[in-house]
């Protein structure tokens, strides 16, 4: 059986990898390296990873279909992984991440709860803690981890409509996301999600508050007056003529400085003329 053949090859020393015929095998992908400079996707690593994945799937299939089947002692249960590429190049203006995650992660939590899988967005430009070097070089994609094939199928069925803008469920998911965002931020048309601004209770507006309905409330206008235009409807800092007033004030200050300079020069000239025509000073200079 295939399961025993793969198991024996993986447990052999050294491991007998199924490298295949070099004349017909597919070309290698672009190389990727870790932080130490070691290549992480050479042919040996890729073949070993593929064989381990096949062995894991075969063991799971045997456990699900054959009664009293015992997996090999060296087999360790690994979670199943699936990746769905986000069509960002085809639809560059569609916010796929916002639709999948939802307002403050509400939709993301719902997807994980309904599917029983761990769902993450990884790839270029995504700062995910658990993604590998290879995943960092991949296009943006949805990373799905589950314990069973059924969980992966359920997660795929939930995610695929969210990645297709032409699907009817995409528009509904987008509208639901906007509604969730409004609820989270406190703006909603649903009465059960409205909080009263007076008693802080849920379910009614402040104008319909039963605790303050019979209380006469009076409002007094604040004593505010703009120092620029004199209007009482806004503060000085919010005056629409603020820029014009500042410009006028600047021009007046520059003009005042220029006038003061002219006055000072005129005063110096008068003082010089008075000193030259002083008779006492002239007589003293003649005696010398």
Instruction: Summarize the confidence of residues 84-104 as an average pLDDT.
Output: 88
DSSP 139: P
Query: For position 202, what pLDDT does the model report?
Result: 79
Asked if residue 41 lies in contact with residue 134, where contact means CB atoms within 8 angstroms, the answer is yes
Query: For position 220, what pLDDT does the model report?
Result: 55
236 contacts: CB under 8 Å, gap ≥ 6: 226, 227, 228, 242
Instruction: Summarize the confidence of residues 177-204 as an average pLDDT.
Output: 73
Residue carrying the six token digits 């969730």:
180
- pLDDT at residue 218 is higher than 60: no
Instruction: Summarize the confidence of residues 38-42 as an average pLDDT.
Output: 83
- pLDDT at residue 189 is higher than 70: no
In this structure, of 118-122, 204-208, 223-227, 235-239, the range with the lowest mean pLDDT score is: 204-208
In this structure, of 10-19, 94-103, 247-256, the range with the lowest mean pLDDT score is: 247-256
CA end-to-end distance (rounded Å), the chain: 135
Q: What residue ranges do the domains of the chain occupy?
A: 1-65, 80-185, 188-216
Query: For position 241, what pLDDT does the model report?
Result: 75
- pLDDT at residue 254 is higher than 70: yes
pLDDT band, residue 288 (cuts 50/70/90): low
More reliable by pLDDT, 16 or 248: 16
What would the two tokens of residue 239 be?
């005056």
pLDDT band, residue 215 (cuts 50/70/90): low
In this structure, of 115-119, 180-184, 243-247, the range with the lowest mean pLDDT score is: 243-247
In this structure, of 121-130, 174-183, 262-271, the range with the lowest mean pLDDT score is: 174-183
* Average pLDDT, rounded, for the chain: 79
Rg over alpha carbons for the chain, rounded to the nearest Å, is: 40
Instruction: Summarize the confidence of residues 211-226 as an average pLDDT.
Output: 63
CATH topology of domain 80-185: Ribosomal Protein S8; Chain: A, domain 1 (3.30.1370)
Q: Above pLDDT 90, what percent of the chain?
A: 12
More reliable by pLDDT, 261 or 270: 261
Asked if residue 51 lies in contact with residue 17, where contact means CB atoms within 8 angstroms, the answer is yes
For 25, the 3-state DSSP assignment is: coil
- Measured CA distances, 237 to 83, 196, 224, 230, 251 (Å): 55, 32, 11, 12, 20
> What is the rounded CA–CA span in Å between residue 198 and residue 195?
9
More reliable by pLDDT, 151 or 250: 151
> What is the rounded CA–CA span in Å between residue 254 and residue 129?
60
Torsion sign across C-alpha atoms 89, 94, 98, 100 = negative
> What is the rounded CA–CA span in Å between residue 190 and residue 202?
11
- pLDDT at residue 52 is higher than 60: yes
């Amino acid at each position: 059986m295939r399961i025993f053949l793969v198991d024996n090859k993986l447990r052999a020393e050294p491991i007998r990898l199924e490298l295949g015929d070099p004349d017909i095998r597919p070309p290698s992908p672009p190389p990727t390296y870790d932080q130490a400079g070691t290549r992480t996707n050479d042919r040996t690593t890729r073949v070993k990873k593929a064989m381990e994945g096949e062995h894991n799937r075969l063991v799971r299939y045997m456990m699900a279909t054959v009664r009293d089947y015992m997996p090999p002692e060296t087999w360790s249960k690994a979670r199943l992984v699936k990746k769905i590429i986000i069509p960002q190049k085809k639809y560059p203006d569609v916010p796929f991440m916002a639709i999948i995650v939802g307002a403050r992660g509400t939709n993301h939590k719902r997807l994980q709860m309904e599917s029983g899988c761990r769902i993450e967005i990884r790839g270029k430009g995504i700062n995910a803690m658990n993604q590998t070097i290879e995943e960092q070089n991949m296009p943006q994609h949805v990373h799905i981890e589950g314990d069973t094939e059924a969980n992966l199928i359920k997660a795929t069925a939930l995610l695929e409509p969210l990645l297709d803008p032409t699907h009817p469920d995409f528009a509904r998911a987008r509208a639901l996301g906007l509604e969730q965002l409004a609820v989270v931020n406190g703006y909603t048309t649903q009465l059960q999600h409205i909080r009263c601004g007076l008693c802080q209770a849920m379910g009614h507006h402040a104008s319909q508050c039963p605790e303050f309905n019979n209380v006469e409330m009076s409002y007094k206008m604040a004593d505010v007056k703009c120092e620029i235009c004199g209007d009482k409807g806004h503060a000085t800092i919010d005056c629409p003529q603020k820029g014009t007033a500042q410009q006028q004030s600047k021009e007046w200050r520059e003009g005042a400085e220029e006038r003061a300079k002219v006055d000072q020069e005129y005063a110096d000239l008068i003082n010089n003329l008075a000193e030259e025509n002083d008779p006492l000073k002239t007589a003293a200079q003649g005696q010398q």
